[in-house]
Structure 1
Amino acid sequence: MSLLGAAGIGLFVGAVVGALGAGGGIIAVPVLTYLLGQSEHAATNGSLVIVALTAAVALPGKARRGQVRWRDGLVFGAMTLLGAVPGRFINELLDPETLFLAFSALLLTVSAVMIIRSIRDLPGEGSADPDPQSRGGVTKTAVRSLIPVAGAAGVTGLLTGLFGVGGGFAVVPVFVVFMGFGVRQATGTSLLVMIIAAGVSILTGVVRGTFVLDWGLVLLFASGSMVGGVLAGPLSQRVPPAMLSAAFGVLIGVVGIITVVRTVAGV
C-alpha cells in the first residue's frame, strides 16, 4: 500500500479515537501488519506511538468542553504502571503467532461487549448521555472502590504494553460504572490515560532497546490519525454514544475474525 494510503487509513483510525476515546490501537495493529507490511512486534510498537499522538491531539478539544477530569485521569494513568511494564516484557517473550492469536481473542471479546452494551443502551438513557458530571460534581450514586479501579488500571496497562493498544475500551466502562462519570467525560478522560499508558510502554521498550519500528511510516500514519482525531471531536457530540459503540463493535468483530483466520492460515 502507498504511503498516501497509510495516511488515509490513519485518518480513519484517528476519527475512531476522536469519536469514541478508544479503539485506535485495536485497528492500527492489524492495519500496520496486514496492509502496511509490518511485523507483529513492530506493529504493536508503532501502534503505541500512533495512539499516544492521536490521543494527545484529541485531548484539548475534550478539555475545552469540560469533558476531562484531570486529577482522576492522572491517578488512574499512574496506576497503569502496575501492568504496562509487565505487559511490555510479555510482548517481547511471545512469538508472533501466539501474540496475534491472543490479540484476536481480545478483539472478539471487545466486539461482543461493545455490541451488547450498545444494544442495551440504545432504547434507554445511555443513548441520551445526560452526562451529569458536565454540570458539576460527582453524582451521589457514584460507586467508588479502589480495588476494581486499581485492577482495571493494571489491566489497561497490561493490554497497552502487551498489544500496543491504548486501553480506552477498558477505561471508559470503569469510569462510568465505578466512578460515576457520564459517557462523554469518560471518553475524554480516557484519552489522558491512553497517553500515560502508551508513554510508559514506549519508555520501557526504549530502555530495553526493543522499541524498533519504521518511524517514517508510523509518523505518516500518525499524522493522518491526528487529523482524524481533531475532525471527529465535534462528531462525537452529535451522534448518540450507543450508536457509535455499536458501529465500532461490529467493525472490531470483523477485524478480529480476519486477524484470527490470517494468523491461523499463516498469510
Structure 2
Amino acid sequence: MRVAARLRGYGRPRELVVRYVVLTLVLALMVGPLLWQLLSSLKGDGEAIFGDAAGLIPREPTLEAYQTVFDQAPMARYMLNSLIMCALTVTSQVIFPTLAGYMMSRQGWRGRKAVYAVLIVSMIFPFESIMVSLFMMVRDAGLVDNLIGVWLPGAIAAVNVLIMRATFDAVPDEVEDAALLDGANEWQRFTKIYLPASVGAMMVVIINSFIAAWDDFLWPFIVLRSENLFTLTLGLSRMAESSLGYDVRIVMAGSVISIAPILILFIVLQRWFYKGVAEGAVK
C-alpha cells in the first residue's frame, strides 16, 4: 500500500515509465562516451578499439596504458600544475565574489546600479574578443610563461559575483533586523547570517571554478612556453601530437586521468552542493 501510494504521488504508471525511459536515455548519452573511453583504455595491445572486431568489454583488462602514460610523460608534473591553478582560481573566485556580492547586496550606496550594469556588460563579450589585449597586458607585466599569468585574468568572474549577490539578496530582511536588535555589527551579520546562507551558492562557485580552471586549454596554451609549467590539458595535447598519440589506448587513459579529479570533487561536495539558500539562512 505504501509503495502504491508513493507511485501515485509521482504520477500515473504510464507517465512514470516514460519518465524513467527519458532519464535512462539522457544517462546513456551522458555517461556512455565516458564509459566507452574508460573501457577502451583498459584494453590490451591486441584488442581492437574501432571497427567490426571491436568489443565494448575488454577481454583481458590491463592498466598498461596508464603505466605508459606516467612512464613516458611527466603526468605528475602536469597534474600538479593544474592543481596549483585550480587552487589559486577557486580561492580567488570564492573570496572576492563573495565579498563583492555582499557589498552589491547592500542598499543605499551610490553607483550600485552602475557597477551591476558593468558586470552584465562584461559578460556579453566572449573571451576571444579580449584575448589579444589580455595577452599584451600579461606580457607587459612580465608574466608570460608563468602560472600567475594564467591565473590572474580569470581570478574573478562576473557571473560568480552576480550569483553571490542574488544569494545574499534572497536572505530575508527580518533575519538581519533581528540580528541588529541583538546588537550584531556588520562583520557579525556577514559571518553569522549571510555566509551560512550562501553555502549552496559557494559550492556551485567552487565546482564551476575548479572545472573551468582544470579544463582550460586556450589561455594556458597562449601564455605558457616551458613544458615544466604545462597544465594537464596542454600535456595531453602534447602527448596526442607525439609518438604516444598513435596509440589510442594511451590517449584514452590520459583523458580518464584528467576527468577523475572532477568526479572526485563533485562526489565530495555534492551533499553541500544541493543545500538551499533558505536552509542556510535559517541556520
TM-score interval, smaller chain: under 0.3
Give the number of the structure whose alpha-carbon radius of gyration is greater.
2
The higher-RCO structure (CA 8 Å, 6+ apart) is 1
Q: TM-score normalised to the size of structure 1?
A: 0.28
Structure with more of its chain in helix, by fraction: 1
